[in-house]
Amino acid sequence: MPHNIKTEDYIREFVMILFIQKRVIILIFSGCFLLFCLIAFFWPPTYSSEARILVKHKKLIRNPEMLEKVSLSEPRVTQNDVKSEMEIVSSIDVIENTIKELQREHRIFKQNLSEQEFRIIVGKIKENLKTEVIPKSDVFKVTLYWDDPVEAEEILKTHLQTYLRYRIEIYAPNKAEAFFQKQVIYFKKKLSQIESELFRLAEQTSSPIPDEKIKSNLLSLQSLEADLNKLLNNYVEKKNFIKFVENELKSRGINCFSFIKSVNIGSFGKKLQDLLVKREKLRGIYTDASPPVRAITRQIEATSRALKAEVKRYVDGEKAKLKAMKNAIRSIMDRIEQIKKENIKLYNTALRSKDLERQLKLAEESYETFVKRWNEAKIDRSSTTGSIFSVSIISGAKANLNPVFPDKRVLIPVGGIVSLIIGVTVGLLLEFFDHTFKRPEDIERYVGLQTIFTIPKFK
């Protein structure tokens, strides 16, 4: 009988699915929401302490020869300057000094820490110390996450003080002068050593650098590598061919081995093919049990055995060739290795003098640079124009008494929404993969029969 065409009511279907899977949805929602509540109320809280640092300007670098020719001007702060200060704040040395300072004053950390415990605390502070540039400014924010707000504030406050002292030590003119003086003495000695070594090398070398021999070896190496690749390809091809022929020999079927290029094997194969054709013609007249067919079958078997014996001798010959190819490959590889070792020695001899010349040039440039920096450090020591205080703490360490995580005001509502989404999603998936009939409308839609009555499910 004809049925009226009805359009789908998706909202009604969605509500019906929720009603059908209400137990699963409620169960999953309750479990997920309970998990979020447990995290919100029982997860160990994490607090934060925050400070802000302003980078004002970086230290002026002056050339002593240009002091009277140019006027001193304060350079603009760049993002690289701010990032450099951020790297100093989060450096391992500053963190270690902070921990030692807190140990010395008997605050937070005990004095008798083992090396492993000390490293664990350093790693914890390093992991929880975050720096962030404030957009459109020369200010960066330093934040420390800790499990106690008072300790977080105390640690960050001490860390900032340690950072300022550490930074002063880096840019202190008296230490810079000693450093540059030490570098000048070092490079002066290095120049003397390099010059002496160049002189000894010039005395010991009685022949020019063998560049032509190196080029000749490279050409020979290229030719040998091409020959080696060709031999390797032929070796693999012949090895696979022998393996294939041996597998064919092991098979019980009759094979004419027509793919083997050999006069004897080709002769036996042609004879075997003729016998097979002749037997097929006799089978059109006689049965397989008849004397003519049986006689030619015996001839085929004898010819096949003879053919396989000839093929086996052929395979043995190919194996001998394969062994010779293997020896040739080993010989070429040994020759290539010998040439490479010889080239290494030649390169070492050829490049040693060039390397010494480069070292000499770099040492001369470094010596001149450190001499200039030494003179600058002397001037800075007697001048107040090169102030090293280029950063200021504009907002000291302050701890947030409310935990950063878990935040109940955010976690519980978000957990409820996420739990509801998960529950509804699982319910929809279960309904999508469940193809059983659950409503009278399903019978009329998919079977085409009208529902007379339903029997309710009793519990």
Q: What is the per-residue pLDDT across 185-224, written as a single tens digit (0 to 9) for each?
A: 888 898 898 888 877 765 654 445 556 777 888 888 899 8
Residues 114 and 157 in one domain: yes
User: Is residue 90 included in any domain, yes or no?
Assistant: yes
Residues 281 and 416 in one domain: no
User: Is residue 182 included in any domain, yes or no?
Assistant: no
Q: For residue 153, how many other CB atoms are within 10 A of its CB? A: 23
User: Is residue 282 included in any domain, yes or no?
Assistant: yes
Nearest to 296 by CA among 285, 312, 311: 285
Angle, helix 10-20 to helix 22-42, in steps of 10 degrees: 70
Residues 231 and 276 in one domain: yes
Range of the domain at 126: 46-172+388-402
The three-state secondary structure class of 417 is: helix
Q: What is the per-residue pLDDT across 56-94, written as a single tens digit (0 to 9) for each?
A: 765 554 555 544 444 555 557 788 888 888 898 999 999
**Which of 208-222, 285-299, 424-438, 439-453 is the least confident region?**
439-453
User: Is residue 420 included in any domain, yes or no?
Assistant: yes
Residues 106 and 246 in one domain: no
How many residues in the chain? 459
Q: How many domains does the chain have?
A: 3
User: Is residue 224 included in any domain, yes or no?
Assistant: yes
R_g over Cα of the chain: 44
Residues 318 and 277 in one domain: yes
User: Is residue 81 included in any domain, yes or no?
Assistant: yes
Three-state SS for 172-226 is: CHHHHHHHHHHHHHHHHHHHHHHHHHHHHHHHHCCCCCCHHHHHHHHHHHHHHHH
User: Cβ(111)–Cβ(121) under 8 Å?
Assistant: no
User: Is residue 383 included in any domain, yes or no?
Assistant: no
User: Is residue 413 included in any domain, yes or no?
Assistant: yes
pLDDT at 437: 57
Residues 85 and 102 in one domain: yes
| pTM beyond 0.75 | no
Q: What is the per-residue pLDDT across 378-423, written as a single tens digit (0 to 9) for each?
A: 665 544 444 444 788 888 888 888 887 777 788 888 888 998 899 8
Residue 47 forms beta bridges with which residues? 146
Residues 167 and 216 in one domain: no
CATH number of the domain residue 52 falls in: 3.30.1890.10
Q: Give Cα 457 distance to the centre of its chain.
A: 59
pLDDT at 384: 41
Residues 77 and 163 in one domain: yes
Please state, in angstroms and rounded to a whole number, the distance separating the CA atoms of residues 142 and 167: 16
Please state, in angstroms and rounded to a whole number, the distance separating the CA atoms of residues 359 and 355: 6
Please state, in angstroms and rounded to a whole number, the distance separating the CA atoms of residues 161 and 183: 30
Once rounded to an integer, what is the mean pLDDT over residues 12-38?
Answer: 83
pLDDT at 435: 60
Please state, in angstroms and rounded to a whole number, the distance separating the CA atoms of residues 32 and 38: 10
Q: What is the dihedral of CA 103, 109, 113, 119, to 10 degrees?
A: -100
Residues contacting 290, CB < 8 A, separation 6+: 282
pLDDT at 2: 47
